[in-house]
Structure 1
Amino acid sequence: MKKETRTVVYDDELRLEAYRFEGTQQPFPNHFHEYFVIGFVEDGERCLFCRNQEYVIKKGNIVLFNPGDNHGCVQNDGGAFDYRGLNISRTVMSDLAEEVTGKRTLPGFSKNVIFDEEVKGYLRPLHEMIMTGSGEFGKEESLLLLLALLFQRYGQPFERCIPECREEVEKACVFMEQHYAEHIYLDQICRYAGLSKSALLRAFTKSKGVTPYLSLQNISIGEAKKRLEQGMAPIEAALSTGFSDQSHFTNYFNSFIGLAPGIYRDIFKTGAGGNQNGE
């Protein structure tokens, strides 16, 4: 069986992450990100659950996730999965959208899974240039051409990508964003939101696609990523974002992000890729 490798690179010029997972069999639980994801399946077959829909993704498929799109996946064919992707923050995407469209309006993707040879023709070479550290202006050109094509064919105002949410659910989210580093309880969230436990669980899961607890874990992991990007030690990032110990933090971080926290931090220290077996 092909040896598993996981490589991540941060491109300072484009201000985005590029990563490549080869030979992986790890399932990823239902989760979400606060950034855009553009990914391409090189090989393998997976069952993808995204925004309460189920897809089978395989070689040649492109995946498009908006910030907040809940998703998870498991291997579907008994083999391994080869995948390459780009992570783009909201701020950077707004800048790029303004460059492409002339309007500083955050875009959204209308589809989560597509098969588009022309998009692939821009995405794969762009990804290779980022992974190999190319400094040619063709890299930025390819990114802008890729996004122009995606916006034209699959773009929509970002607001349309956000499901309608009850006021109480949004209040629950605000409470968790303000107190994620503390040891909080469901009772506290419910009191702040003004709903019973069962009512909050039903409304929250229907609206967000994940439970309040899983949403809290996502918030903590997202904040931990920011600290690691600034060079904070994994144990400090863990304790400052509400995790009880580094082991607990490492397990969650790896299951959500696919890399150990120390390796993720190191890509911002060196500007080079790291693989999962490093410490």
Structure 2
Amino acid sequence: MIAWRTDDIGFQRVAISTDQPLAFNRVFHDDITILAFRHSYWRSEQDRRQHDETPDHLVIRNAGQVFSARLIEARASAETAPECREMHLSGKRLAQIYEESHGVLPAVDFSSPVIMSPELVQLFWDTHWLFEHRNECTLLATTYLSWLLSAIAQRSSGQGLKASTASCSHRPMQAIEYLRAHFQDKISLSDLAQVCQTNPYTLLRQFKKAFGIAPHDYLLAYRIFRAKQYLQAGLPCSEVAHLCGFADQSHLNRRFKQRLGVSPGSIVPRTRS
């Protein structure tokens, strides 16, 4: 098992054995738990109801809910082994998330703990991966977390996001101005929303409506733009990576190639005739 904690949220990645039966009888988590499986199938019981848990299901359990679960089948593929990934949020952390949402986010309904949705499962895996590789981009990871919690709240409750009582046509441009001024820093979605005096969910919606992309897409594009300027001025790649908010030179190389199709080293400094 690999476990870590960031932003007061616990993360776990657990390998599942294909050689021995696994069963948990009447246990509970201390925190609110979100989990999904790969290449394994489980049967659980909670509140006198049985549930099948497959790789197409996302499981959400409130803190203190008693449940039982047993492994039905686990099989490895050529690429990946059976595993379970989990996220753990304290009640205090979830309350903080709702406070930051300014009433926009509907309450999560934990009465049906197993949600059938391959799209939601994929969003969970992507979010989990981003927090495991946090150096990719803080804004990207925290945006995915907001998308995940928003999707879970809406899917479990059957309610959409509530309209924000505060509207401001200048807010998306305010966000861009902040991103351009602080592009080299680690910026979370909550940080950006606080600067714009709104909540993360409203900011994401208004930013996408105004510019057609999410804030983290803009930040990456601007970082690459500035990196290209620094490279053309003759700065070494390692220094450019640091100046532009990338984790290291390999991170800069990877993102540069993805966006521009060439490596940073191919950028030749401009010379005067």
- TM-score when normalising by structure 1: 0.48
Q: Which has the larger radius of gyration?
A: 2
- TM-score when normalising by structure 2: 0.49
